[in-house]
């Protein structure tokens, strides 16, 4: 098993990319703390992971709650003694996302989850990783964090550009402590967040997109590199999606 004896936290693990990453990491031997807002979804994901589910440990909380994010880290260390890998995957969007219709409340909500929430968990794990002499932080961004996107909308794009800056700065400041940081920029992925689009894609369109397991494989590649090597940024798109 490629991740045997590793301890991982995966946020947004109730569905989509986070669920796929949590399951694959557990299959590869990691003890995975799976995080999401809905305990029922986390429990279903654990059950449907088969024997790997024995290594998946659900925690229901909202990462945009600063105190809850801090408790997540302390409880993980209390139970397992360390945190080797953090995957920040929790993300939200809203249907009314164009500048002409986005509300200030929705802007705050999106940034609070997609950017602030990631920082809160990172802020908790960094002292732990420094003390143990290393660790890996994988931040799941979006191609909307590489270039402005009407499709993603202004708040989503702003939050993902912010996440990119956060992740890159971690790589600059924390490399001396053995801490690596990777940004994964997915193109279109068939996940439940598509249901929040102004025009929801149909089954035929979804079949041509990346699937969650594709991103899980990308995360596993990053997680299994030797600590001397890192991938600061990785763009993964569907074959039929142009990226220029």
Domains by residue range for the chain, with CATH: 7-236 (3.40.50.720)
The pLDDT value recorded for residue 80 is: 98
With beta carbons less than 8 A apart as the criterion, state whether 128 and 179 touch: no
pTM of the predicted structure, to 2 decimals: 0.95
**Token pair for residue 171?**
């790589």
pLDDT over 90 (residue 242): no
The pLDDT value recorded for residue 90 is: 97
Supply the DSSP symbol for 244.
-
In angstroms, the Cα distances linking 47 to 15, 33, 91, 244 are 13, 14, 23, 40
Q: For residue 142, report the phi and psi dihedrals to the nearest 5 degrees.
A: -170, 155
How many CA atoms are closer than 13 Å to the CA of 119, on its beta-carbon side? 16
- Rounded to whole angstroms, the Cα distance separating 229 from 163 reads 21
Query: How confident is the model over 75-81, as a mean pLDDT?
Result: 98
Most confident of 40-54, 186-200, 202-216: 40-54
With beta carbons less than 8 A apart as the criterion, state whether 179 and 126 touch: yes
Query: How confident is the model over 119-125, as a mean pLDDT?
Result: 98
Q: Is 120 noted as a catalytic residue in this protein?
A: no
Burial 192-204 (b: 16+ CB within 10 A, else e): ebbeeeeeeeeee
Residue 128: which pLDDT band, with cuts at 50, 70 and 90?
very high
User: Which tens digits make up the pLDDT trace of 9-64?
Assistant: 999 999 999 999 999 999 999 999 999 999 999 999 999 999 999 999 999 999 99
- Rounded to whole angstroms, the Cα distance separating 27 from 202 reads 31
pLDDT over 90 (residue 241): no
Of residues 25, 107, 156, 185, which has the active-site annotation? Answer: 156
Query: How confident is the model over 178-190, as a mean pLDDT?
Result: 96
The pLDDT value recorded for residue 148 is: 87
The pLDDT value recorded for residue 192 is: 86
pLDDT over 90 (residue 198): no
pLDDT over 80 (residue 244): no
The pLDDT value recorded for residue 61 is: 97
The pLDDT value recorded for residue 149 is: 81
């Amino acid at each position: 098993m490629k991740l045997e004896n590793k301890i991982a936290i995966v946020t947004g693990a109730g569905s989509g990319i986070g669920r796929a990453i949590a399951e694959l990491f557990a299959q590869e031997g990691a003890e995975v703390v799976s995080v999401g807002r809905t305990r029922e979804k986390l429990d279903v994901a654990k059950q449907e992971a088969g024997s790997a589910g024995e290594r998946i440990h659900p925690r229901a909380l909202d990462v945009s709650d600063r105190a809850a994010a801090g408790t997540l880290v302390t409880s993980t260390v209390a139970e397992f003694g360390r945190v080797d890998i953090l995957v920040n995957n929790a993300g939200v969007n809203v249907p009314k996302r164009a500048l002409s219709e986005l509300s200030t409340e929705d802007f705050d909500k999106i940034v609070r989850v997609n950017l602030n929430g990631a920082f809160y968990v990172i802020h908790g794990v960094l002292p732990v990783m420094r003390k143990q002499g290393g660790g890996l932080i994988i931040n799941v961004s979006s191609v909307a964090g590489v270039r402005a996107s009407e499709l993603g909308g202004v708040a989503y794009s702003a939050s993902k550009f912010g996440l990119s800056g956060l992740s890159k700065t971690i790589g600059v400041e924390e490399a001396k402590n053995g801490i690596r940081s990777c940004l994964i920029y997915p193109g279109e992925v068939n996940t439940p967040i598509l249901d929040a689009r102004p025009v929801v894609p149909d089954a035929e369109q979804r079949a041509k997109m990346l699937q969650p397991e594709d991103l899980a494989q990308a995360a596993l590649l990053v997680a299994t590199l030797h600590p001397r090597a890192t991938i600061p940024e990785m763009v993964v798109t569907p074959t039929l999606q142009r990226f220029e």
